[in-house]
Amino acid sequence: MTIAPQSPPSPRDRLIVALDLPSVADAERMVDQLGDTVTFYKVGLELAFAGGLPFAAALARSGRQVFLDLKLHDIPTTVERATRQVADLGATFLTVHAYPQTLAAAVRGRTGHEGATGLTVPRGLQILGVTVMTSYSDADLREAGYAEGVSLTVARRARQAEAAGADGLIISAEEAARIRGLVGPRLQLVTPGIRPAGTPNQDQKRVMTPGDAIRAGADYLVVGRPVTAAADPAAAARAIIAEIQAAS
């Protein structure tokens, strides 16, 4: 199987808006409000459990890019089969927890799907390994039984994700520069925990502004509440895209 080459994304295409909303109707309203400003959306657990999967498939059919943030983690057979199902929805990204067994199974699930034809295909579903949640500090990891701390754990999982054939990593932008030095250019660095200057961190602990994240080497920024809870979501998204552009 040959993967078709991709051109680098434009500043607008590097912003992924997280549709963490309670219903498909709310998500549809937000997508309408954002209009042409936003091209890439994340559907996560809250919306997925409220009928969000058919909505995500429809969003992909409408020409938007879709990130399915399902954070899979199970025995390898279950993850491989679940990934094969997700590959049919037309999403660009799927998250799995960055454990070696889980990553390898997800890569088999999406590769098997694409490889069935044996033909050259456009780049299909890409697997992102979630390293250490951006809401975690060293102390939170220690409490969960991981003595190594954030920095070493992210580095270990990044190397394992690359070895397993993953397409990218979910990391905090704080780690982006160092992780880019550890893994090759093939891996997409996708960074949540983005907070424009002056916006509250809420439950995020490892945060950066959009401009700093791009300068640190992030390929994509995931932004939820700073856009969706803003008085004018489209204006908030435009301001983030302007920061991405200025830092690119």
Please choose, from the candidates 153, 155, 205, the residue with its C-alpha nearest in 3D space to the C-alpha of residue 180: 155
Residue 220: strand, helix, or coil: strand
Residue 65: strand, helix, or coil: strand
The one-letter amino acid code at 163 reads A
Q: 63 — alpha (psi -120 to 50), left (phi > 0) or beta? A: left
Q: Are 240 and 226 in contact (CB under 8 A)?
A: yes
Binding to ligand OMP, residues 37-96 (CB under 6 A): 44, 69, 95
Among 14, 15, 17, 18, binds ligand OMP (CB under 6 A): 18
189 vs 171: CA distance, rounded Å: 7
Closer residue to ligand OMP (CB): 44 or 109: 44
Residue nearest to ligand OMP (CB): 224
Among 37, 83, 134, 153, binds ligand OMP (CB under 6 A): 134
**Per rule CB under 6 A, is residue 192 in the interface with ligand OMP?**
yes
At 197, list the tokens.
């200057």
**Per rule CB under 6 A, is residue 189 in the interface with ligand OMP?**
no
Size of the site for ligand OMP (CB under 6 A): 18
State the nearest-atom distance from the C-beta of 36 to ligand OMP, in Å.
21
State the nearest-atom distance from the C-beta of 64 to ligand OMP, in Å.
17
**Sole window of 75-83, 181-189, 209-217, 219-227 interacting with ligand OMP (rule: CB under 6 A):** 219-227
Among 66, 130, 155, 221, binds ligand OMP (CB under 6 A): 130
At 206, list the tokens.
């490892």
**Per rule CB under 6 A, is residue 224 in the interface with ligand OMP?**
yes
For the four alpha carbons of 128, 44, 143 and 191, in that order, the dihedral sign comes to: positive
Neighbours of 132 (CB within 10 A): 27
**Per rule CB under 6 A, is residue 211 in the interface with ligand OMP?**
no
Annotated binding site for substrate, which residues? 20, 42, 69-78, 134, 195, 204, 224-225
Which helix (H) or strand (E) is 222 found in, with range?
strand 220-223
Q: Are 236 and 226 in contact (CB under 8 A)?
A: yes
Annotated binding site, which residues? 20, 42, 69-78, 134, 195, 204, 224-225
**Per rule CB under 6 A, is residue 221 in the interface with ligand OMP?**
no
Instruction: Name the site residues for ligand OMP (rule: CB under 6 A).
Output: 18, 20, 44, 69, 95, 130, 133-134, 170, 192-193, 202, 204, 222-226
